[in-house]
Amino acid sequence: MNMRIRKDYYGVETSIVTPEIYRTSKLVSRITGMRVQRNKAVVGGNAFAHESGIHQDGVLKDRSTYEIFTADTVGWKGDNLIMGKHSGRNAFRSKLAELGFDGLSDEELNKAFEHFKAMCDVKKHIYDDDILAIVQEQASRVPEVYKLDYCHVVSGTSTIPSATLKIHKGEEEILQASHGDGPVDAILQAMSQAIGLTPKLEEYLIEAVTGGGDAMGRVNVRMVVDNLEVKGTGTSTDVVMASAKAFLNAFNRYELTRHLPVKGVETKEP
């Protein structure tokens, strides 16, 4: 952006499509599990935020007073509250197109819309970032060897945290219960026992997608399973369920990764 805005100083040009910068930053953040700090220039949450009264007044009169370039120059759409439980499929499709997701298949759109409607039942306000989180979770999905049917967690100050879950592996139905140091650990223990794997949890990150008490929570995990490092992600207004989704996503990634051909090694059909 320095080179684009100050062409007179740098004297160079790039072919970078700057309206994709914000979305690309979000994508990299989701894939790596590293959150962009709010005070980060251009793509941070505070990049186009103005709290002080004199700043707000100046921006309302002329945005260039405090902004050397506009938010949409780098793909910022900003949060709005247009979408809600009464929004239909066409409105949802239009919103996705506005956010840059106009290439979804009908199946992908239907799954995202179902998730959106379920979110409307538990959230009063639906922000653009909530919708982005839905689409990004769909994009991070892999072929589901394991599917979570239900997960029930008990936790508190006077009880041992425990988790009971039912997982489907094809036609096989697996019921498992376990306990742990906390509700998240209990879920991981139960899921590991149900699947028959012993992962080593290397990293567990949780962040709020939006603000408010009903904010969507995104959980990113990094695990080592049988010497393979896999990552998983999950989102939900319930951070415990987001954790369960992230663990399951990681286990499914493990199943996909361990069957991938190794470069330089010839694989033969059985």
Question: Do 209 and 156 share a structural domain?
Answer: yes
> Is the confidence at residue 58, as pLDDT, over 70?
no
Question: Do 247 and 209 share a structural domain?
Answer: yes
- pLDDT value of residue 52: 47
Give me the chain's average pLDDT, please: 81
Question: Do 118 and 31 share a structural domain?
Answer: no
> Is the confidence at residue 11, as pLDDT, over 80?
yes
Question: Do 230 and 182 share a structural domain?
Answer: yes
Question: Which tokens in the block code for residue 21?
Answer: 């910068």
What's the pLDDT tens digit per position in 227-263? Answer: 999 999 898 888 999 999 999 999 999 998 887 654 4
Average pLDDT over residues 163-170: 94
> Is the confidence at residue 50, as pLDDT, over 80?
no
Question: Do 68 and 93 share a structural domain?
Answer: no
Question: Which tokens in the block code for residue 195?
Answer: 């699947």
What's the pLDDT tens digit per position in 216-226? Answer: 888 999 999 99
Q: Residues 178, 147: contact at Cβ < 8 Å? A: no
- pLDDT value of residue 237: 86
- Cα 159–chain centre separation: 31
Tell whether 225 is covered by a domain. yes
Q: What are phi and psi of 14, to 5 degrees?
A: -125, 165
- pLDDT value of residue 60: 54
Question: Do 181 and 244 share a structural domain?
Answer: yes
- What is the C-alpha to C-alpha distance for residues 194 and 248, in angstroms, rounded to an integer? 11
What's the pLDDT tens digit per position in 22-37? Answer: 888 888 887 777 778 8
Domain count, the chain: 3
What's the pLDDT tens digit per position in 181-230? Answer: 999 999 999 999 999 999 999 999 998 877 777 778 889 999 999 999 99
Exposed/middle/buried for 34, CB within 10 Å: 0-12, 13-18, 19+?
exposed
> Is the confidence at residue 160, as pLDDT, over 70?
yes
What's the pLDDT tens digit per position in 98-148? Answer: 777 777 788 888 888 888 888 888 776 777 778 877 777 776 677 889 999
Average pLDDT over residues 60-72: 68
Structural domain including 63 reads: 17-73
Question: Do 153 and 98 share a structural domain?
Answer: no
Question: Do 219 and 151 share a structural domain?
Answer: yes
**pTM score:** 0.63
> Is the confidence at residue 270, as pLDDT, over 50?
no
CATH code of the domain in which 217 resides: 3.30.160.270
Average pLDDT over residues 4-28: 88
Question: Over the range 235-261, which residues count as b (16 or more CB within 10 Å of their CB) and which as e?
Answer: bbbebbbbbbbbbbbbbbbbbeeeeee
Confidence bin at 84 (pLDDT 50/70/90): confident
Question: Do 252 and 184 share a structural domain?
Answer: yes
Query: Which residue type is seen at 255?
Result: E
> Is the confidence at residue 79, as pLDDT, over 50?
no
